[in-house]
Structure 1
Amino acid sequence: MSNDPGLRRLALGTLLGAFPGAQAPAWAVDLVAEGMAGHLLFGYNIVDRDQVAALTAGLHAARDGVLIAIDEEGGDVTRLAHRLGSPYPGNAALGALGDPAITRRVYRTIGAELDQLGLNLNLAPTVDVNTADDNPIIGTRSFGADPQLVAAHTAAAVLGLQSARVAACAKHFPGHGATLADSHLELPTVDISVDELRGRELPPFAAAVEAGAKSIMSAHIRVPTLTGDAPATFSKAVLVDLLRTELGFTGVVVTDALEMLGAARYAGSTQAGAVLALAAGADLLCIGADVDEKLTLACVDEIVTAVQDGRLPLARLEEAVARVQALSDWTRQGDRTDREEPGLGYPAALSAVRVEGSVDRSSAPLIVQLESESSIAAGRVPWGLGPHVNGTEQIRVVAEQAAPDELRTRAGIRPIVVVGRNVHRLPGARNLVDALAATHPVTVVEMGWPSSWRPTGARAFITTWGASHANGRAAAETLGLAA
């Protein structure tokens, strides 16, 4: 442990930690009191509103100005509503709806809720342009595939959140939307020219800067023309030359979680990544989800040692801390606007639904939900038509293990509704849907990111652009099955 208290406090001032459980352990509170920038809350920290308010109050009492962050994107990525699903449509649905004013109102309401619960930094919105249908980590978290549409909704989301004095964090710079790999598990590559990057990936980030976004998150992706073999999080060409010099960003650069393998495997360890990120121009270091006192202190010690041995200039560390402090100061200044609209999410989700074909509402169907893995970013959150339908029979199957004949027999004379997320890429799903559609009226409800695939013979194809609680209710209403 460092014996230089001044350096130790500076190092702490760059760290966004985490801890397990519904109460902050003593070490997490003590480090905040000592000067740690703050903590990030995950679903495992959330029980109910009263508990969250008490948790954040304890951290604020430890030091005025502590940053308490959360990933509350709405849609598929929610922490506050991880037990039931978010009451708000996510970005893909908002983009499909196409009204930035509604996007601003939704994010304004999310911000109001966070503010009431003592949270002041939202690691949202995701502003990646999702140009890869099979993107495993962005998908419905994106406003869409058109850079200008994404840019318009990005600005609206930033303005909405920050009207509640909750700092927005546009992510994942310089753009994670074209990747076919998950940076939690490996280092994805976006092999495009800088001009292509400027034309497709950067307009939403430029819009976030113009809208006054207080923070921007770096991506653990490799863009060889800029970063060589390194992730963007460790690239001065990305964080300084592109983001600060070219786009004019003056706020806080937040890293994506340094424990993610897209960063940690390159750096060798989470704590080594902390030093590389700071040296490249990052200011606030998100350690990750699986964090304890030992890992947090290891990051502190590595940063202090790096300053002492010359790997990290003291002036760079001081600059990072000053930016984080300015963000902290902003969260405590100015008036909050009175803008919460708690019922807004459901009609917005319904308006975003797109129907191709004709929905048969003449008889109750058999609902077949296709099991799918959740992304690491979203975690395990309930999804589907679940509680939204009026007693209609629902079953869950694994597409490649399901027997079409058994499902036909079970359905009898009833039509079949197949519900899935990213149906086009679930093993066995296309063949299963086509087989069912050969003998029964079939409607497919796509609750993930739709591709160009449409099933042969299906009567209707419904796109909800997300799988949140709000999207599920919207699907049930569209089918005429709402409870």
Structure 2
Amino acid sequence: MKDDEIPRLARGTLLPAFSGSNVPRWLRDELEQGLGGVTLFALNGNVPSQEALAALTAEMRKSGDPFVTIDEEGGDVTRLGGHLTASPYPGNAALGAADDPALTRRVYRSLGAELTEAGVNLNFAPSVDVNTADDNPVIGTRSFGSDPELVARHAAAAVAGTQEAGVAACAKHFPGHGSTVDDSHLGIPLVDADLDLLDRRDLVPFRAAIEAGTRAVMTGHLNLPGITRGVPATLSPAAITGLLRERLGYGGVVVTDALDMRGASGAIGIPEASVRALIAGADLLCLGPREHADTVTATLAAIVAAVREGRLPRERLADAAARTAALKQWLSGDTTASVDRAAGLEAARRAVRVSGTLPGWNGTPPLVVELESVGNIAVGPTPWGLGPWAPDSVRAEGLAEESGSLLERATGRGLVIVLRDAHRHAGQRALTGALLTARPDAVVVEMGLPVWRPGGAAQLATYGAAHANAQAAAELLGLAPAPA
């Protein structure tokens, strides 16, 4: 390999971000010089509409052949317009509750068809983490469930559906983020599991995704003391080369989770984290939403220096280039998949669980009280709740002292209390308890994971807060027309 080839191979590993819905000059220049691709973020203004996104991706392709990547999981983590209106597709928890792999495949095929129409060719989904920690702050409804075999069969279905639409799937967050109680955006979460437990739990869905032909796997910034010995998996040869490549036999592209996250670069910076990830065996480096031209320049310099100093073997860059080239060759195939949003609503309806008897409203709409719940960093400020179907709804902070005014407002009519992951929010539980003490006839709707269940009241669990989940709940509550 000639020295002048090193910068181009290094560029080919990078997935930076950018601001706005137009291609900036610096990005055109980098694409012309072989930049690997970009990662789109709704909060960067990259997705004002699906039509605008399609125009943006077409413009980028005039300057190169990039991977256009996005975090579009459906459900609570949505970028493809759902950040403005909530997703028409339920997330993985609802799909796991319905437990129909054929339906999961259909949902992901439709979601993939929408991405194809917008020019996105690599989707950072599905999340195949086995969510065994109720207090997990970052996975939750993004997981199909807590049973490895259930997660595995839906992981395979999601991969198949996505790739039938001509979009590369990316199973994440290897080797499994579901047992943690920390957020890798903020630190390095501990996965307290030896290899035997990983084999029986966390790795089961990854094996299924690999057997289903997933074209990419995303690493998590996770500390597995017995394997990575304090190093996050993203930067660990033992995790990527040893566990994923050699033990699981995976030969496709390895993508890092965003390297701006403190779990990866908090102590060393993004350029150095990029070098270490490549040494560990990663092929594509997701840099993060705020990492634009300056980060690309600094990271390229660090990678080139590492090669010339002998820290990063040239063959490792060539290997990454070969894997990404093979993926681009696969992406050149045709697809006949079409958008099928009815699949999303069908799945959401089948996921809902009702306990107790739901009351009627006798022609007077109930007061709908939605308790504030801020999404985690991955979810972002996505709309949620029953507001679009409720003639009278109010948001409450989740303080017990709010109960008096809310009860007064609900006098003489029904009361619906809408929660989201109440098991993680003491304020939601306190206010709900105060309301139910006075109004045991109220209905509780949980739009996160139904871990906490207040006694006595009729309850409805949607396993997600997407638009489809909310509509399914509204139908059962008589706030929206029932399906024909």
The Cα offsets for residues 29-51 of structure 1, whole Å up to 9 and x where unpaired, read as 21111101100111121111221
User: Do the aligned residues in 2 keep the contact of 1:434 with 1:456 (CA within 8 Å)?
Assistant: no
Q: How do 1:232-251 residues align onto structure 2 when only pairs under 5 Å count?
A: 232-251=233-252
**1:403: Cα distance to partner?**
2.0
Amino acid corresponding to residue 199 of structure 1 in structure 2 = R
Q: Equivalent residue for 1:6?
A: 5
d(CA) in 2 for partners of 1:260, 1:388: 37
- After TM superposition, the structure 1 = structure 2 runs for residues 126-141 of structure 1, keeping only pairs within 5 Å, are 126-141=127-142
Distance 1:263 1:366 in 2: 45
Q: Deviations over 1:366-423 (max 9, x none)?
A: 111011111111111110012133x2x1000111264222211111122321112101
2:31 match: secondary structure: helix
Contact 1:367 1:418 in 2 (8 A): yes
Q: Distance in 1 between matches of 2:461 and 2:372?
A: 17
Match of 1:388 in 2: 389
* Equivalent position SS for 1:57: helix
| Letter aligned with residue 221 of structure 1 | L
Letter of the aligned partner of 1:200 in structure 2? R
Amino acid corresponding to residue 213 of structure 1 in structure 2: T
Taking the aligned partners of 1:313 and 1:402, their CA distance within structure 2 comes to 63
Number of the residue aligned with 2:33 = 34
CA displacement, residues 177-236 of structure 1 (integer Å, 9 cap, x when unaligned): 011111011110011111001101001000010000000000001111101111000111
Letter of the 2:243 counterpart: L
CA distance in 2, matches of 1:133, 1:151: 19
What does residue 20 of structure 1 align with? 19
Q: Deviations over 1:35-88 (max 9, x none)?
A: 01100111121111221111000111111x311011111001110121101000
Instruction: Look up the match of 2:151.
Output: 150
> Could you tell me how far apart the structure 1 residues matched to 2:279 and 2:205 are?
26
1:228 equivalent to 2:226? Answer no
Q: How does 1:84-103 map to 2 (within 5 A)?
A: 84-103=85-104
Deviation of the 1:131 alpha carbon? 0.6
How many Å separate the matches in 1 of 2:129 and 2:123?
16
Q: Which residue of 2 aligns with 1:256?
A: 257
User: Partner amino acid for 2:480?
Assistant: A
Q: Which residue of 1 aligns with 2:472?
A: 474
Per-residue deviation at 1:357?
Answer: 1.1
Deviation at 1:327, TM superposition (A): 1.0
Task: Show the counterpart of 1:70.
Answer: 70
5 Å-filtered alignment, 1:432-451, equals 432-440=431-439, 441-451=441-451
Distance apart, 1:323 and its partner CA:
0.9
Judge conservation of contact 1:437–1:456 (CA < 8 Å) in 2: no
Q: Which amino acid aligns with 1:348?
A: A
For residue 293 of structure 1, what is the amino acid of its counterpart? A
CA distance in 1, matches of 2:405, 2:341: 43
Q: Is the 8 A contact 1:283 1:324 kept in 2?
A: yes
The 8 Å contact of residues 400 and 430 in structure 2, kept in 1 or not, is answered as no
Opposite residue 400 of structure 1, the aligned amino acid is L
- Distance (whole Å) between structure 2 residues aligned to residue 259 and residue 402 of structure 1: 40
- Counterpart of 2:472, as a letter, is A
Unmatched 5+ stretches in structure 2:
none
Identify if the C-alpha distance between structure 1 residues 4 and 315 changes in structure 2 by more than 3 Å, giving closer, same or farther: closer
Give the superposition deviation at 1:91: 0.5
CA distance in 1, matches of 2:274, 2:3: 19
> Given residue 10 of structure 2, which amino acid in structure 1 is its aligned partner?
A
Please state how far the C-alpha of 1:240 moved relative to its aligned partner: 1.0
Deviation string 1:252-272 (CA, Å, 9 cap, x unpaired) is 000000000111114x10111
Name the counterpart of 1:423: 422
TM-score, length-scaled by structure 2 = 0.96
Map residues 10-409 of structure 1 onto 2, 5 A cutoff: 10-43=9-42, 44-63=45-64, 65-80=65-80, 81-266=82-267, 268-332=268-332, 334-363=333-362, 364-389=365-390, 391=391, 393-400=392-399, 402-409=401-408
Within 1, Cα distance between the matches of 2:416 and 2:133? 27
Deviations 1:297-354 (A, max 9, x none): 111110000111111111111111211121112111x321234313221122111100
After TM superposition, the score normalised by the length of structure 1 is: 0.96
Equivalent residues of 2:109, 2:337 under 8 A apart: no
Distance 1:199 1:86 in 2: 33
Letter of the 1:108 partner, please give it: R
Distance between the aligned counterparts of 2:188 and 2:383, measured in 1?
Answer: 29
CA distance in 1, matches of 2:115, 2:228: 35
Amino acid at match of 1:19: F
Is the CA contact (8 Å cut-off) linking 1:400 and 1:427 kept in structure 2?
A: no
> CA separation in 2, counterparts of 1:137 and 1:481?
31
SS of the equivalent of 1:343 reads helix
Secondary structure, counterpart of 1:368 in structure 2: strand
Structure 1 residue 146: Cα displacement: 0.4
| Structure 2 residue identity aligned to 1:167 | A
Contact 2:70 2:124 in 1 (8 A): yes
2:463 is aligned with 1:465 = yes
Q: State the aligned residue count.
A: 474
Q: CA deviation at 1:148?
A: 0.3
RMSD over equivalenced CA pairs, Å: 1.3
SS at match of 1:382: coil
**Structure 2 counterpart of 1:464, which letter?**
T
- Tell me the distance in 1 between the aligned counterparts of 2:12 and 2:264: 21
> 2:317 is aligned with what amino acid?
L
For the residues of structure 2 that align with 1:141 and 1:114, how far apart are their CA atoms? 19
Residue aligned with 1:216, SS: strand
How many Å separate the matches in 1 of 2:401 and 2:244? Answer: 49
Give the SS at the match of 2:432.
helix
**Conserved? CA contact 2:361–2:413, under 8 Å:** no
**Residue 47 of structure 1 aligns to a residue in which SS?**
coil
